[in-house]
Structure 1
């Protein structure tokens, strides 16, 4: 299936990871009927999804976007990550299947505070759903609450052999809790408990501030050419 897919190139746009660079992506033909097993194979080839669309960076003069994943069955949290787990023991996790007004209100606050110049409009309700949901995958919304108050939502694709972390947004006033880190730790725990091999984290871009948190998770594997290999990342 993946060998016969038709790809389309996007137009160039400003890179969202590194200043001064232009980016473009190769998209899988949207007319192709994908499903969980197909997408699992595409993840292994370095693709990601945004809404119903599946893509991979295909920039003219740059190959810095490195697909990365975590081996769930062997991962052990470090001291800082164990502290993150302890500091958030007062939160409850509920895995939900739909996005509603409560989630959208949190998303708006998050974008307004954290990504005001990121090209995403917090007022666009349609874009919110089309970005995070997917009509052909089992997408679940991992909701963290304190006494019923929604603090964070992690959008997670559940696949036959893995989880894929799509996006996490949280209450900007709760930044000290490291809720993005907590969400990844919870996904790793769930994957290990259910026998899933990996948690996919998207792309690692060296020297990108937005990606810096990913190197705190070790061991991390990257797709080098056509092989997944353990990475020797610099210390956090």
Structure 2
């Protein structure tokens, strides 16, 4: 395994999750071409991928961001989870290669325009989508849900040595009543279980940020705290 160089900027910036805080991240050398084993090792140490940028929060005065993962082999389905799975029984799931970016972009564009017009990804454009979700290290797939021929939503994920890693989910806003994001995360966790992989990595859960609170609805859940994985207590 090659040496993995990381960089920590001197300057912090306003936090996009907690407005009263300052954020700073530790970055992997962007010139490195990482393989699946190295990406797996980084995920096991709390890192996250966005496009070809791999990072981990190292904030000066806050530790609210915690990398979390579902224990796929022990997944506990709540009553709400079972309702969501039942509601979406008419959908067809497909695992797809991220080859034809234009196929999923219209859904992504509608999702950002209607659900995240206050975020830093608005307004959406294809080059941004391509850099965010299609620039990968060769181990990325799309878990897509279809109603007949119509795309309802996609969960972009990475294949790791010890699990699957949920990168980003987008869906048709008109189908929000289906809870498509929860459905796709549950489906990916069930897929990891079927592949005998231990985990579904969910990225960062941010205490105090309501947008991230959905991640705590999965059980059992681990959190990366003080450089080790521990059970996440609700």
TM-score grouping bracket, smaller chain normalisation: over 0.9
**Correspondence 1:151-170 to 2 at 5 A:** 151-170=152-171
TM-score normalized by structure 2? 0.94
2:176 paired residue number: 175
Task: Say which SS state the counterpart of residue 9 (structure 1) adopts.
Answer: coil
Question: TM-score, normalised on structure 1?
Answer: 0.93
Retained in 2: the 8 A contact 1:10–1:25?
Answer: no
Q: Deviations over 1:112-165 (max 9, x none)?
A: 011101011344211101111234231001111111111101001011221000
Q: Distance in 2 between matches of 1:21 and 1:6?
A: 23
Residue aligning to 1:220: 221
Partner of 1:88: 88
Q: Cα offset for 1:10?
A: 7.5
* Cα-Cα RMSD: 1.6
Partner in structure 2 of residue 131 of structure 1? 132
User: Residue 15 of structure 1 corresponds to which residue in structure 2?
Assistant: 15
What's 2:121 paired with?
120
Q: Hey, which bits of structure 1, 4+ residues long, moved more than 4 A?
A: 1-4
The 2-side partners of 1:119 and 1:75 are apart by: 33
Identify the residue that residue 76 of structure 1 maps to in structure 2: 76
Q: Output the CA distance in 2 between the equivalents of 1:139 and 1:224.
A: 26
| 1:144 matched residue in structure 2 | 145
| Counterparts in 2 of 1:162 and 1:102: CA distance versus 1, 3 Å | same
The runs of 5 or more residues in structure 1 that have no matched partner are: none
Deviation, 1:33, is: 2.7
CA drift of 1:184 comes to 0.9
Give me the whole-angstrom Cα distance separating, in 1, the residues matched to 2:211 and 2:48: 17
The whole-number CA distance in structure 2 between the counterparts of 1:107 and 1:4 is 33
Contact 2:4/2:28, CA 8 A, preserved across alignment: no
Identify if the C-alpha distance between structure 1 residues 131 and 11 changes in structure 2 by more than 3 Å, giving closer, same or farther.
farther
Partner of 1:188: 189
Does the 8 Å CA contact 1:2/1:42 hold for their aligned counterparts? no
1:28 matched to which residue of 2?
28
**Where does residue 6 of structure 1 map in the other structure?**
6
The answer (yes or no) to whether the contact 1:50–1:131 under 8 Å persists in 2 is: yes
- The 1:186/1:10 distance shift into structure 2, 3 A limit, reads farther
The 3-state SS of whatever aligns with 2:46 is coil
1:94 Cα deviation from its structure 2 partner: 1.1
Q: Distance in 2 between matches of 1:165 and 1:2?
A: 25
2:64 is matched with 64
The CA deviation at 1:39 is: 0.6
